[in-house]
Amino acid sequence: MANIHSKTYETMPSRQVAFLGLGVMGYPMAGHLALAGHQVTVYNRTPAKAQTWCDEFARSVAPRQAATPRLAVQDADFVFACVGNDDDLRSITLGPEGAFAGMKSSAVFVDHTTASAQVARELFAAAQAQGLHFIDAPVSGGQAGAQNGALTVMCGGDAAAFAAAHPVTMAFSRAVTHVGASGAGQLAKMVNQICVAGVIQGLAEGIAFGQQAGLDMNQVLDVISKGAAQSWQMENRGKTMVADQFDFGFAVDWMRKDLGLLLDEARRNGSRLPVTALLDQFYADVQQMGGQRWDTSSLIKRLK
């Protein structure tokens, strides 16, 4: 069960949609599309997961599963995907059983994978050559955001395709924004991860310092969260960091994947990211401590 929290969905005609990839994020995202009244066909590399999803949402508008991406997308106006990395994304889009081989002309593929800007541009061109549309649309908000239908989505691609997909995407989002041409969504997500990692490390150091000094850090966090130090991380992860709890969604392994993507991009475009490069190594330390699946606030474990 995905523990999906229903929300008020935008009133719009039911659309034929497909969702490829039912992981921690994709499962609830696809669920919100079904609850919003859309006709949803799902594909997952492990078919049993797709069957579980269909069973869970059987009371919505006749959910279906398909054996391949090509079969899943044949009737879809919009195809959504959320998989692991560049290679996973190529595997579900390209080739004889990939989505691009089955999509109808003018259909829109909306990719929520956090991937490279390069693969986004590659697939945008491949889709365009076939009369299709491709939007790179990575998300921020983590597992809780997906379950609550409150993700923030950063989109790159053609403005017209974005406008068509926007109201459907709002089923699992609180904000969906077009930030530029193909690849711009992935680049915006990289900016997001740079900022998030830096904030978490600052929070970790502050909490560790306060604990070493003998302060009641729950009280201190209550005080400073009302001032200039306030952040989403402080509000949502500060007290769990104090309590040494790190089971809240976005995992260290995933953050290292994202940091690797953005550090590669920085090398290509000449950006200097000294703090981010250091934090990547700090997360490597956490992995070596056995924290691969701890959430990203576990940076504080290095300091204790």
Say what the pLDDT of residue 6 is.
85
Write out pLDDT tens, residues 25-74: 999 999 999 999 999 999 999 999 999 999 999 987 789 999 999 999 99
Band the pLDDT of 3: cuts 50, 70, 90.
confident
Helix (H, G, I), strand (E, B) or coil at 13: coil
Phi/psi-derived region of residue 142, left when phi > 0, alpha when psi is between -120 and 50, beta in every other case: left
The C-alpha angle 193, 3, 75, rounded to 5 degrees, equals 80
289-303 pLDDT tens trace: 999 999 999 999 999
Percent of the chain at pLDDT above 90?
93
Neighbours of 140 (CB within 10 A): 18
What per-residue confidence (pLDDT) applies to 10?
85
At 11 the pLDDT is: 87
CA distance 125 to 11: 33
- Mean pLDDT value across residues 183-209: 98
Per-residue pLDDT of 93-144, as tens digits, reads: 999 999 999 999 999 999 999 999 999 999 999 999 999 999 999 999 989 9
Res 256: pLDDT: 98
Element (H, E) at 191: helix 184-212
Instruction: Dihedral sign for Cα 192, 194, 199, 204, please.
Output: positive
**Catalytic status, residue 7:** no
What is the mean pLDDT of the segment spanning 193-219? 98
Torsion angles phi and psi, residue 223, rounded to 5: -75, -55
Q: CA 76 to CA 236: how far, in whole Å?
A: 37
pLDDT given for residue 2 in this prediction? 61
Report the relative pairing of strands 173-180 and 133-136 from DSSP bridges. unpaired
Model confidence over 227-263: pLDDT tens digits?
999 999 999 999 999 999 999 878 999 999 999 999 9
Q: Which helix (H) or strand (E) holds 152?
A: strand 151-156
The answer, yes or no, to whether residue 1 has pLDDT greater than 60, is no
Q: 156 and 184 in contact (C-beta within 8 Å)? A: yes
Between the alpha carbon of residue 206 and those of residues 152, 250, 255, the distances in Å are 28, 21, 21
In this prediction, residue 163 carries a pLDDT of: 98
What mean pLDDT do residues 135-162 have?
96
Residues contacting residue 151 through CB under 8 Å, at least 6 positions apart = 29, 139, 140, 141, 145, 172, 173, 174
Q: What is the 3-state secondary structure (H, E, C) of 77-144?
A: CEEEECCCCHHHHHHHHCCCCCHHHHCCCCCEEEECCCCCHHHHHHHHHHHHHCCCEEEECCEECHHH
**How do beta strands 139-140 and 151-156 pair?**
antiparallel
Per the prediction, the chain carries an average pLDDT of: 96
The domains found in the chain, sorted by start residue, are 16-181 (3.40.50.720), 188-303 (1.10.1040.10)
pLDDT tens for each residue of 83-96? 999 999 999 999 99
* Active-site annotation holder among 49, 104, 189, 226: 189
Tokens of 217: 């850090």
pLDDT score at 35: 95
Q: For 180-201, what is the mean pLDDT?
A: 98
Decide: 252 and 171 in contact? Cβ < 8 Å.
no
User: Can you give the pLDDT at residue 60?
Assistant: 77
Q: 23-59 burial, b for 16+ CB within 10 Å, e for fewer?
A: bbbbbbbbbbbbbbbbbbbbbbbeeebbebbbebbee
